[in-house]
Amino acid sequence: MFKVPPISSARLPQLLRAMPKAELHIHIEGSLEPELIFALAQRNGLSLPYASVEALRSAYAFTNLQSFLDIYYAGASVLLHEQDFYDMAQAYLRRAAQDNVLHAEIFFDPQTHTARGVPIETVINGLHRACADARTELGVSATLILCFLRHLSEESAFETLEQAQPLLDKIVGVGLDSSEVGHPPEKFARVFARCRELGLHLVAHAGEEGPPAYIWSALDVLKVERIDHGVQAVHDPALMQRLAQERIALTVCPLSNQKLCVFPRLGDHNLGQLLDAGLAATVNSDDPAYFGGYINENFTQVFAATGLTARHAYQLAFNSFEASFASNADKRVWEHRLKEAFERCVEHDD
Ligand code: ADE
Ligand code: ZN
């Protein structure tokens, strides 16, 4: 393992921004900035229940996950055409490139759109074209993960999988998101088993607001490879041991956790506890347009609030590449670039 050189705390924010990283937990609908919501509404001849961009942004005061989801699904209703999905993903990928994201695995919620009569191919083709263009125009690698909405039925998830079947070469995996409490992973056991047979990678949100039991069943029943959020694992020592031993990555989203009141203050976040217990935690933005920052803001703010070090920074970025669904060859190249960024930082330290 690379020995992380000493780096002064004054230089740490700059290093956090400059270091190469992967983003593994970003809902593309959660990257829709109010300005783009208004522009798409105008382009599509839709009216919004907010008078201005500022009025919409000022409605972003959340008390829990559900209070956010209500406004997030309303925002996504301006997306109608393939170009709308392309523009949304292009805007995110350009922003991610500025934050030195080399690779992004992007969640999307097809049922939010198909329920409004938007065909699934419109969604997937628009997002996929933006991912392909990001590789050539930005040098960013980007893939798609289709998420099932857990507040809807198993039948609806199966129907969505069937609609997506002709387009499966454009996605790398499936996930599970939306309202967690009251919708345990077991509800989707059969549809995840089918996705596994189809050779898709599997992830699920678990332990964001829900109990450690949901993390256990995401692992044992759904057989997921990563846990999205997972911060409630600290309440179950046996689970912590399992996650550490099996190097199951947690895609942690600090600003999301703060804005949805999972932790009262960012300084109370348990990211350091997860890392120090040997868990493969990563840092991600979740829904950056709603939670006050893209991935580098998540890094700099949680480090400033909790006093994490350069060693944690290296571990988080390394984990993000290691836990991705990219090829081993790509991972080695990115991890090499990560080491170089740390070495460069030391050369310039005084
Ligand atoms: N969909 C978008 N963001 C989410 C989150 N933080 N938890 C569950 N579902 C989501
Ligand atoms: Zn999420």
Which residues, listed in sequence order, are joined to residue 227 by a DSSP beta bridge? 204, 250
User: Is residue 291 within 8 Å of 252, Cβ to Cβ?
Assistant: no
Tell whether the model's pLDDT for residue 76 goes beyond 90: yes
- The model's pLDDT over 295-331, given as tens digits with 9 standing for 90+, comes to 999 999 999 999 999 999 999 999 999 999 999 999 9
Task: Give yes or no for residue 208 CB within 6 A of ligand 1.
Answer: yes
**Segment 244-270 mean pLDDT:** 98
Q: Which ligand is nearest to the CA of 106?
A: 2
* Amino acid 105: pLDDT: 99
d(CA 48, CA 350): 53
Pairing of strands 101-108, 249-252: unpaired
349 pLDDT band (50/70/90 cuts)?
low
| Half-sphere exposure at residue 211, Cβ-oriented, CA atoms within 13 angstroms | 5
Pocket test for ligand 1, best of 23, 24, 27, 259 (most atoms within 8 A of CB): 27
Task: Give yes or no for residue 150 CB within 6 A of ligand 1.
Answer: no
Pocket test for ligand 1, best of 227, 286, 290 (most atoms within 8 A of CB): 286
**Segment 159-179 mean pLDDT:** 98
- The model's pLDDT over 117-167, given as tens digits with 9 standing for 90+, comes to 999 999 999 999 999 999 999 999 999 999 999 999 999 999 999 999 999
* Amino acid 22: pLDDT: 99
Task: Give yes or no for residue 185 CB within 6 A of ligand 1.
Answer: no
Token couple for 11: 């230089």
Task: Give yes or no for residue 27 CB within 6 A of ligand 1.
Answer: yes
Q: Residue 326: what residue type?
A: A
* Amino acid 1: pLDDT: 75
Tell whether the model's pLDDT for residue 238 goes beyond 90: yes
Q: Does residue 208 have an active-site annotation?
A: yes
Tell whether the model's pLDDT for residue 347 goes beyond 60: yes
**Segment 241-259 mean pLDDT:** 98
CA distances from 340 to 3, 64, 104, 334, 336 (A): 12, 40, 21, 10, 6
pTM beyond 0.95, yes or no: yes
If you measure from the C-alpha of residue 121 to the centroid of ligand 1, how many angstroms do you get, rounded to a whole number? 23
**Segment 196-214 mean pLDDT:** 98
Tell whether the model's pLDDT for residue 66 goes beyond 70: yes
Task: Identify the burial level of 49 via C-beta atoms within 10 angstroms of its C-beta, where 0-12 means exposed, 13-18 middle and 19 or more buried.
Answer: exposed
- The model's pLDDT over 10-51, given as tens digits with 9 standing for 90+, comes to 999 999 999 999 999 999 999 999 999 999 999 999 999 999
**Segment 106-120 mean pLDDT:** 98
Q: Which ligand is nearest to the CA of 178?
A: 1
Which residues, listed in sequence order, are joined to residue 206 by a DSSP beta bridge? 229
For 214-232, give the DSSP string.
HHHHHHHTS--SEEEE-GG
Mean pLDDT rounded to a whole number for the chain: 97
* Amino acid 219: pLDDT: 98
For 285-345, give the DSSP string.
-BSHHHHT--HHHHHHHHHHHHT--HHHHHHHHHHHHHTSSS-HHHHHHHHHHHHHHHHHH
* Amino acid 350: pLDDT: 55
Q: Which of 82, 180, 208, 209 is catalytic?
A: 208
* Amino acid 2: pLDDT: 87
Pocket test for ligand 1, best of 68, 180, 232 (most atoms within 8 A of CB): 68
346 pLDDT band (50/70/90 cuts)?
confident
Provide the 3-class DSSP secondary structure of residue 260. coil
If you measure from the C-alpha of residue 178 to the centroid of ligand 1, how many angstroms do you get, rounded to a whole number? 5
Name every residue whose Cβ is closer than 8 Å to that of residue 176 and which is 6 or more positions away in sequence: 147, 148, 150, 185, 188, 192, 203, 204, 205, 206, 218, 222
Tell whether the model's pLDDT for residue 268 goes beyond 70: yes
d(CA 211, CA 242): 16
Domains of the chain and CATH, by start: 12-347 (3.20.20.140)
User: Residue of the nearest CA to atom 1 in ligand 1?
Assistant: 178
Residue with tokens 């925002």: 75
Task: Give yes or no for residue 286 CB within 6 A of ligand 1.
Answer: yes
Taking the CA of residue 180 as reference, the ligand 1 atom at the shortest distance is 8
For 173-200, give the DSSP string.
EEEEES--TT--GGGGHHHHHHHHHTT-
Percentage of the chain exceeding pLDDT 70: 99
Phi/psi region, residue 253 (left: phi>0; alpha: psi -120 to 50; beta: rest), is beta
Residues written for the chain: 350
